[in-house]
């Protein structure tokens, strides 16, 4: 919602565009592509933000780029973006910056900096469910004057008074809260943020950096496993404790199913809502992607390539990370005990179907 809100404001059809990177989650790509128009800038081979390429595009656009939209951290590789350096570039060339901080905010303290600082952040958005809160609530930080006009979404609660032919909008924040608000979501998100602050971002980050290094290095040592984005160990603040990887000769869906069914380990697999980035990281050519697009459009989703992603959080331990690595090692060696069937959408399930309730939970439910 937050990014769509900004995109709606940017869609002035005045010929100015939004610069996005190839790294973006679809949430930070589609609103620009379909509402305001975008220029997509490439990345380094390993999938890092390329500041020179961003500057080149901004210079070439000659004032026609109004906004630079970049993620604070990638949900595919965990790479943390140099957001303040990107902000400086954007401001130097007359644009503003929007940071999709969905992936960054749970792990790093974010400093939006004062408006007169060249590296300040104009817009920051984040999602509650990434902050260990429930789905459905999020945050948009924006300059106060951004909200000065009529709200984009209109409805009850957003007004001060409505007469037969006049509307007086409420002050902030009510003016942006049309309809019955998601009270539980907002309160839970507030509590989640307070809890993270109490736990301490520095302590959590130190722990996560250690775990992340163990994860990436451990995966890279397993024969047949390739970590997307390379294995450069994360220095403090440059890579989140997550890794996406492919296992030679095994479909990503099969690896995920085996990890879940045989090891009780939950991972995500596929393209992680970041198709262009995953295609880049898998070194696919435009022709390869066009072939896949044709297959998927014809309903053959099995053709969609992808990877497996493991994400660690502050509550994870070194022992859990090691157990995960052992599980991947066994799966990569082909030591998969159950048999699995692939569905039309490309996902795999045990041939007898997924157990409905895990045994441990069953016991809890019964007593």
Ligand X SMILES: Cc1ncc(COP(=O)(O)O)c(C=O)c1O
Strand 167-169 versus strand 159-162 pairing type:
antiparallel
- Is 71 marked active-site? no
Q: Does residue 76 bind ligand X (CB under 6 A)?
A: no
Candidate segments 22-30, 112-120, 151-159, 304-312, binder of ligand X by CB under 6 A: 22-30
Position 71 contacts ligand X (CB under 6 A): yes
Q: Are 332 and 247 in contact (CB under 8 A)?
A: yes
What separation, in Å, do the N-terminal and C-terminal C-alpha atoms of the chain show? 42
Binding residue (CB under 6 A) for ligand X from 6, 18, 19, 27:
27
Of 1, 17, 139, nearest in space to 69 by CA: 17
Which ranges of 81-200 does DSSP label H, i.e. alpha helix?
83-92, 183-199
25 touching ligand X, by CB under 6 A: yes
Q: Does 47 bind ligand X (CB under 6 A)?
A: no
How far is residue 218's CA from residue 325's CA, in Å, rounded to a whole number?
6
107 counts as binding ligand X under rule CB under 6 A: no
- Joined together, the tokens standing for residue 43 give 């990345």
280 binds ligand X (CB under 6 A): no
Q: Mark residues 128-157: x for contact with ligand X by CB under 6 A, - for none.
A: ----------x-------------------
Stated as kind and residue range, the H or E segment containing 4 is helix 2-10
**What is the three-class DSSP state of 99?**
strand
Provide the angle, in degrees to the nearest 10, between the axes of the packed helices 51-61 and 83-92: 20
Span from 20-28, 163-171, 233-241, 283-291 in contact with ligand X (CB under 6 A)? 20-28
Q: Of residues 10, 100, 177, 208, which one binds ligand X by CB under 6 A?
A: 100
Residue list 160-219, contact with ligand X (CB under 6 A): none
Q: How far is the CB of 125 from ligand X (least distance, A)?
A: 8
DSSP summary character for residue 134: P
Considering only 9, 10, 28, 50, the residue that binds ligand X (CB under 6 A) is 28
Nearest distance from C-beta of residue 134 to ligand X, angstroms: 11
189/325 with CB nearer ligand X: 189
Pairing of strands 159-162, 225-227: unpaired
- Among residues 51, 110, 273, 296, the one annotated as catalytic is 273
Question: In the complex with ligand X, which residue's Cβ is closer, 102 or 336?
Answer: 102
Q: What's the min distance (Å) between Cβ of 136 and ligand X?
A: 9
Block residue for tokens 């009780």: 264
Instruction: Name the one range near ligand X by CB under 6 A: 47-55, 100-108, 294-302, 308-316.
Output: 100-108
Is 127 a binder of ligand X (CB under 6 A)? yes
Is residue 22 a contact point for ligand X (CB under 6 A)? Answer: no
Q: How far apart are CA 87 and CA 103, in angstroms?
A: 18
Strand, coil or helix: 7? helix
**Cβ atoms of residues 312 and 215 within 8 Å:** yes
**With CB under 6 A, what is the number of residues at the site for ligand X?**
10
The alpha helices in 11-135, defined as continuous H runs, are 30-31, 51-61, 83-92
Q: How far is the CB of 165 from ligand X (least distance, A)?
A: 37
Catalytic residues: 273
List interacting residues with ligand X (CB under 6 A): 25, 27-28, 71, 75, 100, 102-103, 127, 138
């Amino acid at each position: 919602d937050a990014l769509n809100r900004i995109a709606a404001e940017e869609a002035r059809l005045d010929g100015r565009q939004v610069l996005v990177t190839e790294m973006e989650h679809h949430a930070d790509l589609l609103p620009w592509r379909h509402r305001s128009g975008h220029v997509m800038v490439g990345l380094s081979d390993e999938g890092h933000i390329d500041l020179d390429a961003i500057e080149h595009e901004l210079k070439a656009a000659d004032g026609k780029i109004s906004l630079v939209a970049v993620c604070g951290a990638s949900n595919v590789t965990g790479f943390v973006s140099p957001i303040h350096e990107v902000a400086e570039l954007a401001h130097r060339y007359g644009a503003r910056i929007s940071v999709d901080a969905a992936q960054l905010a749970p792990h790093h303290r974010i400093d939006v900096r004062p408006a007169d600082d060249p590296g300040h952040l104009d817009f920051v958005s984040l999602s509650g469910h990434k902050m260990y809160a429930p789905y459905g609530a999020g945050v948009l930080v924006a300059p106060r004057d951004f909200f000065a006009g009529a709200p984009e979404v209109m409805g009850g609660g957003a007004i001060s008074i409505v007469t037969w032919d006049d509307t007086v909008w409420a002050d902030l924040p009510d003016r942006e809260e049309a309809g019955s608000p998601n009270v539980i979501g907002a309160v839970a998100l507030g509590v989640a943020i307070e809890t993270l602050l109490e736990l301490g971002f520095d302590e959590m980050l130190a722990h996560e950096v250690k775990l992340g290094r163990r994860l990436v290095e451990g995966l890279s040592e397993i024969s047949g496993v390739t970590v997307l984005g390379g294995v450069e160990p994360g220095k403090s603040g440059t890579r989140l404790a997550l890794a996406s990887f492919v296992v030679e000769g095994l479909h990503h869906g099969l690896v995920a199913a085996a990890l879940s069914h045989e090891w009780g380990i939950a991972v995500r697999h596929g393209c992680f809502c970041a198709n262009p980035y995953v295609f880049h990281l898998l070194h696919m050519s435009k022709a390869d992607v066009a072939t896949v697009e044709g297959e998927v459009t014809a309903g053959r989703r099995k053709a969609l390539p992808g990877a497996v992603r493991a994400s660690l959080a502050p509550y994870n331990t070194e022992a859990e990370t090691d157990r995960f690595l052992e599980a991947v090692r066994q799966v990569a060696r082909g030591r998969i005990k159950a048999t699995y069937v692939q569905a039309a959408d490309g996902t795999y399930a045990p041939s007898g179907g997924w157990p409905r309730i895990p045994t441990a939970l069953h016991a809890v439910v019964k007593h």
